[in-house]
Amino acid sequence: MTTPVGFVGLGAMGLPMARNLLKAGYGVRVFNRTVARAEGLAIQGATVLTSPRAVAEQAPIVLSIMADDTALEAVALGPNGILAGLAKDGIHVDMSTVSPDASKMLAQRYREQGVHYIAAPVFGRPEAAAAAKLWICPAGPSEVIERCRPLFNAMGQGVIVVGEEPHLANVLKLVGNFFVISAIETLSEALTLAEKSGLKADTVLEVVKALLPGPLFQGYGGRMARSEFVPPGFVLRLGLKDVGLMRKLAEQGSAPLPIADIMHEHLRAAAAKGRGELDWGAVITVVRELAGLAPGSTP
């Protein structure tokens, strides 16, 4: 008998993740606010349902990946939410980038109802999601995480267990994304400095390849040098949201985070210029403009 699993949220990341669960042989029950996003999965064998609650009523484990705290709470809570549909000992695994405070609140609400909430944010762009090459970082009770591990293995290349408290996974995700935005800001400034000084980007990228191997600097460096921001791996407006969460976490912990402050201003400026749906590497356009250069290939 096919094991049922639920999936809520079929965005740029969720759609390929759900597709990999289908490929692994699971009976996938899905909900997405925009029903058209689920049509391809339905053709491949997924069951499309009308609410998050309906998904949870048909699957003992429900995964979700949403844009922000508000979107997560909307699918988790309320009369048509996941919590309302989960049977006793059911599991909701949220894989979104959201605030630690949101996870704390949801974990408490789920415990009160005799069900489980796991935070398991992911690292990787949509192409990594499609190739089942994500890094998945769950936090929650160890025995509950183990029940979910086969699902994680179907979607990712590795699992990094963070701890027993779900919100710690969200802290790790924000710390990890801070590495990414720091690299993007560094590349923006370095490539701009090089051009202003008469040095070709290709030469800079050769140094990046030699000294900083790996997908972060090489992948973003190449795309940013070529002004390739479409299709986005992660849209700039959500990057602005994430940096806001980082700054809030830093303020709560009295930790200095000056790079995030700089990046926040640059992201906000790019969004104000209508670039919010581009890849967040498009922050280089603002740095270039501050240096008196053309922004690049932007709308």
Q: What is the pLDDT of residues 87-110, one digit of tens each?
A: 999 999 999 999 999 999 999 999
10 and 140, same domain (yes or no)? yes
- How long, in residues, is the chain? 299
47 and 119, same domain (yes or no)? yes
54 and 195, same domain (yes or no)? no
pLDDT at 2: 83
pLDDT at 88: 95
Kindly report the average pLDDT of the chain as a whole number: 97
Q: Which of 163, 195, 213 is the last residue of a domain?
A: 163
154 and 44, same domain (yes or no)? yes
Number of other residues whose CB lies within 10 A of the CB of residue 31: 26
- On the question of pLDDT at 24 being above 70, the answer is yes
CATH of the domain at 247: 1.10.1040.10
Note whether residue 283 is domain-resident: yes
User: Which candidate, 76, 246, 116, places its Cα nearest to that of 171?
Assistant: 246
12 and 74, same domain (yes or no)? yes
- The residues annotated with a catalytic role in the active site are 173
User: Which candidate, 274, 97, 259, 124, places its Cα nearest to that of 188?
Assistant: 259
186 and 108, same domain (yes or no)? no
pLDDT band with cut points at 50, 70 and 90 for residue 167: very high
CATH of the domain at 96: 3.40.50.720
Note whether residue 297 is domain-resident: no
Q: Which domain holds residue 136?
A: 4-163
**Tokens found for residue 105:** 């609140």
The rounded percent of the chain whose pLDDT value lies above 90 is: 97
- On the question of pLDDT at 298 being above 80, the answer is no
Do the Cβ atoms of 183 and 219 come closer than 8 Å?
no
Q: Which of 129, 147, 163 is the last residue of a domain?
A: 163
31 and 149, same domain (yes or no)? yes
CA–CA gap between residue 237 and residue 129 (Å, rounded): 20
pLDDT band with cut points at 50, 70 and 90 for residue 296: confident
pLDDT at 1: 59
152 and 215, same domain (yes or no)? no
Number of independent structural domains in the chain: 2
Note whether residue 85 is domain-resident: yes
Note whether residue 298 is domain-resident: no
32 and 133, same domain (yes or no)? yes
Mean pLDDT of 211-233: 94
pLDDT digits (tens, 9 = 90+) for 47-58: 999 999 999 999
Note whether residue 296 is domain-resident: no
User: Which candidate, 215, 230, 211, 208, places its Cα nearest to that of 281?
Assistant: 230
- On the question of pLDDT at 299 being above 80, the answer is no
The rounded percent of the chain whose pLDDT value lies above 70 is: 99
pLDDT at 214: 86
Mean pLDDT of 106-134: 98
User: Which candidate, 136, 137, 134, places its Cα nearest to that of 167?
Assistant: 137
Note whether residue 223 is domain-resident: yes
134 and 210, same domain (yes or no)? no
pLDDT at 297: 46
145 and 179, same domain (yes or no)? no
pTM: 0.95
Mean pLDDT of 11-27: 98
Mean pLDDT of 263-279: 98
Note whether residue 278 is domain-resident: yes
**Tokens found for residue 214:** 């790996």
Burial of 169 (0-12, 13-18, 19+ CB in 10 A): buried
Q: Which of 119, 147, 163 is the last residue of a domain?
A: 163
Note whether residue 295 is domain-resident: no
pLDDT at 291: 97
86 and 218, same domain (yes or no)? no
